[in-house]
Amino acid sequence: MSAASGRLPRVAVTTGDPSGIGPEIVRAAIADRRVRAVCEPIVYGPIADDDVAMFPVGEIDARSGRAAYDTIERAVADALAGRVDAMATAPINKASFAAAGLAWKGHTDLLAHLCDASEVAMMFWSDELRVVLATVHIALADVPRAITLDGLTGVIALTARSLPRFGIATPRIALAGLNPHAGEDGLMGREEIEVMRPAIARAQASGIDVDGPFPADTLFVRAARGDFDVVIAAYHDQGLVPVKLLAFGRSVNVTIGLPIVRTSVDHGTAFDIARQGKADAGSMVEAILLAARLAAGR
């Protein structure tokens, strides 16, 4: 129940790109008894067969990209106004966004813009492993320049502030190195020495429990065994490969740093199986359940 009103939290559930699997996994998720027990799901976007049929199936399409954007914009407006208590989003397609002339590469940067939030990060939450990404949708060649002292210090602080909402009062944070063997004391790169260690020192001086940088090839094993509560990964695939290996279909994408609660699935639009009855709604269910839990605890 919502602590403020005694009612079930209202969760806006956006259907994502209508050319993908979003509408069908939303339809299945909101019918799930576990979802109905903890929240009132409110659907944003096309979900009925006739409405979805207005969009091409399994294709990059400008109209689908625009429809997904408009849906997200409405849900965010209602969340900011308090008409809904949280939002859980089905996947969008970055190429369809681009075809529609939209500048954003995904939910994270779009939500930051719509919420006027200056400091946000993408976190993947699962029972097996929690990961925050220091950089997100950029080319691998651009990652070293994108990892700055101030930026990384901010991500560490944001992670420490955000985890108590998930029931971890004093999170044990580990930072993954960018280079093999975390740079091997400069033999394989100097980012760990020049940026990562100073960022950790700053965070530790402010009272944050953070350590590293650790070689990524063993760090995620340690975190999955319980040595750390959350790992900050240097780049997208470094963090998402272990999460999806351990918990694909059960992990939830959470945007931390927003003034609203927002969760999402751990997968994409799956154009290749759209409207074939093959899509698994498991991650959509988990996203709604976590959104309801966070909303109820606010």
CATH number at residue 240: 3.40.718.10
Q: How does residue 105 score in pLDDT terms, banded at 50, 70 and 90?
A: confident
**Cα angle for residues 284, 297, 163 (degrees, 5° grid):** 75
Domain boundary, last residue among 209, 229, 248: 248
- Give the pLDDT confidence of 257-281 residue by residue, as tens digits: 999 999 999 899 999 999 999 999 9
Q: Is residue 184 part of a domain?
A: yes
SS3 of residue 298 by DSSP:
coil
Query: What pLDDT is attached to residue 137?
Result: 87
SS3 of residue 129 by DSSP:
coil
Tally of domains in the chain: 2
Q: Is residue 61 part of a domain?
A: yes
Same domain, 150 and 87: no
Please, where are the H alpha helices in 82-215? 94-99, 107-115, 143-146, 149-162, 191, 197-205
Q: Could you give the CA distance from residue 221 to residue 33 in angstroms, rounded to a whole number?
A: 34
pTM: 0.91
Please, where are the H alpha helices in the chain? 22-30, 33-38, 49-52, 62-81, 94-99, 107-115, 143-146, 149-162, 191, 197-205, 216-224, 236-247, 282-296
Same domain, 89 and 185: no
Same domain, 58 and 98: yes
Q: How does residue 6 score in pLDDT terms, banded at 50, 70 and 90?
A: confident
pLDDT over 50 (residue 129): yes
Same domain, 217 and 273: no
- What number of other Cβ atoms are within 10 A of residue 293's Cβ? 18
Q: Is residue 278 part of a domain?
A: yes
Same domain, 139 and 236: yes
User: What does the CA dihedral 46, 49, 52, 56 come to, rounded to 10 degrees?
Assistant: 170
Same domain, 65 and 156: no
What domain range includes position 18? Answer: 1-117+258-298
For range 115-144, the mean pLDDT: 94
For range 182-205, the mean pLDDT: 95
pLDDT over 90 (residue 34): yes
Could you tell me whether strands 230-233 and 121-125 are parallel, antiparallel, or unpaired per DSSP bridges?
unpaired
Query: What pLDDT is attached to residue 288?
Result: 98
Q: Is residue 175 part of a domain?
A: yes
87, 98, 143: which is closest to 263 by C-alpha?
87
Same domain, 242 and 156: yes
Same domain, 285 and 185: no
Q: Is residue 89 part of a domain?
A: yes
Query: What pLDDT is attached to residue 4?
Result: 53
Same domain, 146 and 55: no
pLDDT over 90 (residue 37): yes
Decide if 46 contacts 263 (C-beta within 8 A): no
Same domain, 208 and 269: no
Q: Is residue 215 part of a domain?
A: yes
Same domain, 164 and 105: no
- Give the pLDDT confidence of 136-193 residue by residue, as tens digits: 989 999 999 999 999 999 999 999 999 999 999 999 999 999 999 998 999 999 999 9
Q: Is residue 87 part of a domain?
A: yes
Task: Report the share of the chain in percent with pLDDT over 90.
Answer: 92
Query: What pLDDT is attached to residue 258?
Result: 95
Same domain, 190 and 150: yes
Query: What pLDDT is attached to residue 3?
Result: 45
Domain boundary, last residue among 227, 248, 269: 248
Q: Is residue 253 part of a domain?
A: no
Q: How does residue 290 score in pLDDT terms, banded at 50, 70 and 90?
A: very high
